[in-house]
Structure 1
């Protein structure tokens, strides 16, 4: 079978499409005939050697959609790698069936992006009925879903923050009540104006750096800011506990992997997300599809910020 493998660390140039032996399932495992695989920034980090758990040579890919030997169409994580291949082995208990109304790219987007948005709102932010939510990077993979899920979960007002008019227009199209420029300078004032003169109950931030600090300034009393990324590469600035106490504020961090190990952390929310997509209540912003042989080009386009939506490698 064909796989996308790295034998050394680096950029898109280190990806090679080679022939490999078919994977052999162990006890409790199943082979998935891969139709498509999702591409994430973590895959680029693994190829570059800046992500743990990689022993060379290594087959990349942590998300697959395909068919099991009994014909079920399923989606699954391959966190140990091996997703960029014609066949992948996954634990039999961790495959989730996909409604026929849901496309491959839509199903793949529900794994990292969909489950992250779900847990941010349900677990970390503990969004309450009628509360206001600000979603930074609102046109991104997680942000575009969080805008819609916030409404689905009972938010009273959803405010999208994004860097361009085009991105803000998309967020409004997806259901945001208002959209503001995400530039840190003046961010708090713009959020308060968009939120009818008061601070926000929840801010979701994937940018870090100055954007994170501005998000804290935009919170109402007992507001919660959840940091789940560092897209700015500025790091997460230290937060003064006295400042939090004075505003009765909460500053939380989030990482998806440990959340998936919770009893209710994976199958139930993923099934619910797929159902929302199937019913047309959750719109997925899908992006480009590349043949498996063009994985290097997909990596290069992602690294250069030339892609939007969920990027997929088409295997068959």
Structure 2
């Protein structure tokens, strides 16, 4: 199913390639929280001892993913909260842990880095949250029915924002927001190149770059449909890298500038685009390499950067939001963008936990656009 909906509270239609799952046919999950049917009195509910979770016991392809139907429900310590997840996000980082690019530990390892649901238990030292709060959070082990969360990486969801929207925005939205502020501070009129512009982070980047007033927002993608999507979300130019020499095209698009080239490249692709990125950057430009979809960038001689005083960075979201005040500031800005509908959140597909292997195949195919979610 392919869904596009604004963050705030009006109901939205959808198009499905196959019969929609029951929770969508009931037309409840994407409506206003004012009509949200899952309001529960958690103070009278018992917490089970086991749960379903997406786990791995070894690294490899999607085939190593297991759905453990008897995983233990974790117990929060005095400084943690326990969240009953309604949604969990799927991100490329999950494939890195599954494949072994990042080392998962310990086994069995529960995948996932973002979740949304209700607080069902609160540690004795926690004062900012109470049982029943609807929250979204970042942290490990979220692709499960229950997750222990860090209150310092958790945000309350305003009533105006529909279920599923906030978690769909956490990793990808915060990644894009921190990168245009701290990896490279984008200024009005800047010429920017965004690779994989129709992906989850790519669409966020296109929209945020438009909001902050970037000049030429050049998007690359593998199909004309993806390029049209990127343009609908803010890109001013599109390059189909399967049909055109994207390096030559970027130089052509920026050829009328005093200094041809782009001042920043936001690259989640990695190895296959790195050399071209260095070529299209203008003097004092920044290469923000934030992903490895085509493989990790190989070692290179740092002296190569000297001719144009190029800066290369490999940012990680969690280093930008390590402190509570950092997370809170960015998360509140994210919520404001969602409440005011300045950002459109695109859901490519919603999966059950049992469909996790297929979800990993889909995201690695590079045929998806927008966000992939699990509905629990």
TM-score normalised to the size of structure 1?
Answer: 0.89
Larger Rg computed on CA atoms: 2
User: Are 1:21 and 2:63 an aligned pair?
Assistant: no
Structure 1 residues 1-316: aligned runs within 5 Å = 1-14=51-64, 15-69=66-120, 70-79=131-140, 81=141, 83-182=142-241, 186-195=245-254, 197=256, 198-233=260-295, 235-236=297-298, 238-241=300-303, 243-262=304-323, 265-315=326-376
- Cα pair 1:208 1:237 within 8 Å, conserved: no
Q: How far did residue 65 of structure 1 move?
A: 0.3
Q: How far did residue 128 of structure 1 move?
A: 2.0
Q: How far did residue 18 of structure 1 move?
A: 1.4
- Cα pair 2:152 2:327 within 8 Å, conserved: no
Backbone CA RMSD of aligned residues? 2.3
Q: How far did residue 226 of structure 1 move?
A: 1.3
CA deviations over 1:175-198 (Å, ceiling 9, x no partner): 111112336973333113323522
Could you say what secondary structure the match of 1:43 adopts? helix
Q: 1:205 to 1:50 in 2, by over 3 A?
A: closer
CA deviations over 1:43-85 (Å, ceiling 9, x no partner): 2332334422421122222211001133221111122x2x122
Q: How far did residue 146 of structure 1 move?
A: 0.6
User: C-alpha separation between the residues in 2 aligned to 1:306 and 1:178?
Assistant: 20
Q: 1:203 to 1:305 in 2, by over 3 A?
A: closer
